[in-house]
Amino acid sequence: MTAQALAGPVRPGPARPPVALGTTTAVWARAFFSKPGRVVAALEVIGALAIASVLPLRHWPGLPLAVLVTAFALALANAVVRVALGERLPRWSLQVDVGLGNILVSTAAAAGASGHVDLANLYLLVEVFALLYLPLGSALGHLGLAGAAYALVLELGPRPAEPLAVAWLAVFGTAAVLAAVVVGLVSVLRRVAREDPLTGLANRRSWDERLEAELERAARSGEALSVVVVDLDGFKAVNDAHGHSAGDRLLQAVARSWRATTRGGGDFLARLGGDEFALLAPGADEVAAHGLARRVAEALPEGVSASAGVATWDRSEGASALMRRADRAMYHAKRHARRDSGPRPA
């Protein structure tokens, strides 16, 4: 018997809706900016093109021309290296890229001043990259070094038409404002990416990252680690009877009550999706985790019940296996609990 006979007659499926241009652009942008090596290469090419664009504008003296051509070649060479090696280079190599970028911009700014061309604005490209992809302390350190380097360029190189302080502030005053804006936007975006918008708790992505980190820490320290998975009972009936807005208010009330229940500092509470929550309890063995689950039960708003499952790390399983055990325990408790009895940790 053929595969088609087993599957039955083939009917054409519904036509796929066209992909919106905005969606395609957003997907491309996420893919591009998630790879800092690609961004480095793109910025190096932009810097090289900026240098190349000023070369035909006037007759350059020999040394400044040689400096600009060398900076142009080095920028392109580093872009080629980044494209060729992709993301195989270690993360710390981005620090080298930022340092090299500031050196190239400084030399180009010094040489360009002899032809009355201001290339110092290229500092802004380097510093924005540093603020996006390096730890904040490192990025601010690079920004400070770049500011000092440009001050030396202004002091020792050809004098600009405006006062030195004005020339310096024109670049690094802008850089300081830009740094504040970028840091603010990055902090907001990182929070949004890891926070459930309805309850304000950590989302599934943040949970997965934290669980992996706590497993590594527990493996090093030898401490216990437990997870508690909690699923509200009858949540679908609330949505069906009173609407999704009532269900949203219930989830928010549960989240507020549980924030006050978790142990300060160590416990990590997240909404995994729908009406399912999870609590990570570093340092808690099985007995302590069951006690935490009981406190979660007692903190539920009046008239609300839930089923909870507890799993304590066996020191060999991975994150997925640990979560599967907690899920199985939760579903076992749900099958055997009455609607109004509250969570029964399995």
Catalytic residues: 275
Residue 232's H or E segment, with its range, is: strand 225-232
- 57 DSSP 8-state letter: G
DSSP structure string for 275-324: TEEEEEEET--HHHHHHHHHHHHHTSPTT--EEEEEEE--SSS-HHHHHH
Gap between the Cα atoms of 10 and 27, Å rounded: 32
3-state secondary structure of 163: coil
Dihedral sign, Cα of residue 297, residue 301, residue 302, residue 306 = negative
Instruction: Give yes or no for a contact between 139 and 127, defined as CB atoms under 8 angstroms apart.
Output: yes
Strand order in the sheet with 276-282: 268-273, 276-282, 225-232, 306-312
Side-chain-facing half-sphere of 121: CA atoms under 13 Å: 6
- Residue ranges in the chain assigned as alpha helix (H): 3-7, 21-33, 36-54, 62-85, 93-113, 122-133, 136-156, 164-194, 204-221, 235-242, 244-259, 286-298, 319-336
Gap between the Cα atoms of 98 and 129, Å rounded: 8
Gap between the Cα atoms of 36 and 129, Å rounded: 9
Token pair listed for 332: 């076992």
For the stretch 174-179, contacts whose Cβ atoms lie closer than 8 Å and that sit 24 or more positions apart, written own/partner, are: 174/124, 175/123, 175/124, 175/127, 175/143, 175/146, 175/147, 178/124, 178/127, 178/128, 179/127, 179/131, 179/139, 179/140, 179/143
Gap between the Cα atoms of 238 and 217, Å rounded: 40
